[in-house]
Amino acid sequence: MKTILITGGAGFIGSHVVRLFVTKYPDYKIVNLDALTYAGNLENLKDLADKSNYIFEKADILNAERLAEIFQKHQPSGVIHLAAESHVDRSISNPIAFVETNVLGTVNLLNAVRNLWGDDLEGKRFYHVSTDEVYGSLGEEGLFTESTPYDPRSPYSASKAASDHFVRAYFHTYHLPVVLSNCSNNYGPHHFPEKLIPLIINNIKKNKSLPVYGDGKYTRDWLWVKDHASAIDTIFHKGRSGETYNIGGNNEWKNIDLVKKLCDIMDELLERPAGSSRQLITFVKDRPGHDRRYAIDSSKLQQELGWEPSMKSEEGFRETAKWYLENEAWLDHVLSGEYQAYYEQQYK
């Protein structure tokens, strides 16, 4: 039985990747390694609890000894690395946590696989999941390609860029069989409500103001999270060693237009008068160093490996809104505790 270790599997994207691998590959053993920080939640995976090919290991990627123990125990031949501090606003108030988890944690993992695999690299793969934010910010025109020079501009993107560089350095220096992907903004079920889409949906539900940073004309390319998981599956199995693949939804929205679209969907779902949620929109202080626009050219992945996004945005946003309305217990749980203090501080 092939063993794949997935880090950050209790988080938003990781939980979709774990579910896809556990259900699609019953002959793989999937080990989910996660520290269960504020962003990690085993409720995201409760439907997998009875699966015989799924194992959870609570561990911090900063703890090299614990990593060595887990790698010895499970002997994975593949690693898909998603564990990270992922929220830009938090990186602005606490950059050190991002350096620790995203940079040091990634190097710890690289060392753990090197120690386990040694020179026996046949059939081995280390997959590093990264972000389009490493490429910096675009003007009105243009797309990020795999050869766009790195220009990270927030502590989060700087830490992800550093981790990407370490992964490539291990490929060149030690011939570690790595593959990387850089993806645009994801959305869908289980998204932690500190991020724009679930925060807006939750605030509309509660009739709270909808904070839009700056002039609201910042632009993101939104990808359905299950399409990201399917891209990861494709790249993990078919991607070429040492290569990087950009993943995007070809689905650009200015924040203000996206927020208005969510208002209209929620008015319909909640049977409120059309236009009522839009009145909650409030322009607030901008994010420091806010990147203006991200947009991805994913033609390499589409042409070389045959992947393409499946979800239409209108349908995806509606499904997401419905999911949050139908999963109140999940939302109440993640909104309790630490999140309240974070929200007060961020939006005071």
Q: How many CB atoms lie within 10 A of CB 171?
A: 20
Min CB(75)–ligand NAD separation in Å? 20
Report the DSSP pairing between strands 78-81 and 219-224. Answer: unpaired
Residue 162 within binding range of ligand NAD, rule CB under 6 A? no
CB-nearest residue to ligand DAU: 131
Of residues 25 and 38, the one with the C-beta less far from ligand DAU: 38
Amino acid (one-letter) located at 87: H
Question: Cα–Cα distance between 223 and 293 in angstroms, integer?
Answer: 15
Q: Indicate which single residue of 25, 28, 213, 323 sits in contact with ligand DAU (rule: CB under 6 A).
A: 213
Q: Are 266 and 258 in contact (CB under 8 A)?
A: no
What b/e readout covers 228-242, taking b as 16+ CB neighbours within 10 angstroms? bbbbbbbbbeebeee
156 included as an active-site residue: yes
State the nearest-atom distance from the C-beta of 38 to ligand NAD, in Å.
8
In the bound state with ligand DAU, the residue whose beta carbon lies nearer, of 74 and 287, is 287
193 touches ligand NAD by CB under 6 A: no
- Which residue, 258, 262, 266, is CA-closest to 213? 258
187 is catalytic: no
- Binding to ligand NAD by residue 103, rule CB under 6 A? no
- To the query of whether residue 119 is one of the catalytic residues in this protein, the response is no
Please, which residue, 280 or 294, has the CB nearer to ligand NAD? 294
| Count of residues engaged in binding ligand NAD, rule: CB under 6 A | 30
Q: Which does 39 bind (CB under 5 to 8 A by kind): ligand NAD, ligand DAU, none?
A: ligand NAD
| 251 lines the binding site for ligand DAU (CB under 6 A) | no
Longest C-alpha distance within the chain, in Å?
65
Instruction: For residue 81, state whether it binds ligand DAU (rule: CB under 6 A).
Output: no
Is residue 86 close enough to count as binding ligand NAD by CB under 6 A? Answer: yes
Closest distance of CB 171 from ligand NAD, Å: 18
Q: In whole angstroms, how far apart are CA 310 and each of 16, 159, 227, 245, 307? A: 15, 30, 7, 18, 9
Applying CB under 6 A, among 16, 66, 87, 125 the residue interacting with ligand DAU is 87
Least separation in angstroms between residue 116's CB and ligand DAU is 28
DSSP string across 37-96? -TT--GGGGGGGTT-TTEEEEE--TT-HHHHHHHHHHH--SEEEE--S---HHHHHH-HH
Question: Which residues does 338 contact at the CB level (< 8 Å), separation at least 6?
Answer: 38
Rounded to whole angstroms, how far apart are CA atoms 316 and 311?
A: 6
Burial 63-100 (b: 16+ CB within 10 A, else e): ebebbeebbeebebbbbbbbbbbbbbbbbbeebeebbb
- Residue closer to ligand DAU by CB (options 60, 85) is 85
Separation of alpha carbons 16 and 257, rounded Å: 27
Residue 279's contacts (CB-CB under 8 Å, 6 or more residues apart) are none
Interface with ligand NAD by CB under 6 A: which range of 34-42, 47-55, 143-151, 258-266?
34-42
Binder of residue 213, out of ligand DAU, ligand NAD, none (CB less than 5 to 8 A by kind):
ligand DAU
Q: Tell whether residue 150 is a contact of ligand DAU (CB under 6 A).
A: no
Question: Of 85, 133, 194, 221, which one is the catalytic site residue?
Answer: 133
Q: How near is the Cβ of 207 to ligand NAD at its closest, in Å?
A: 26
Among 255, 277, 302, 320, which residue interacts with ligand DAU (rule: CB under 6 A)? 255
Q: Which of 60, 85, 132, 221 is catalytic?
A: 132
Residues within the interface to ligand DAU (CB under 6 A): 86-88, 131-133, 184-185, 195-196, 199, 211-213, 218, 220, 255, 287, 294
| Residues known to be catalytic | 132-133, 156
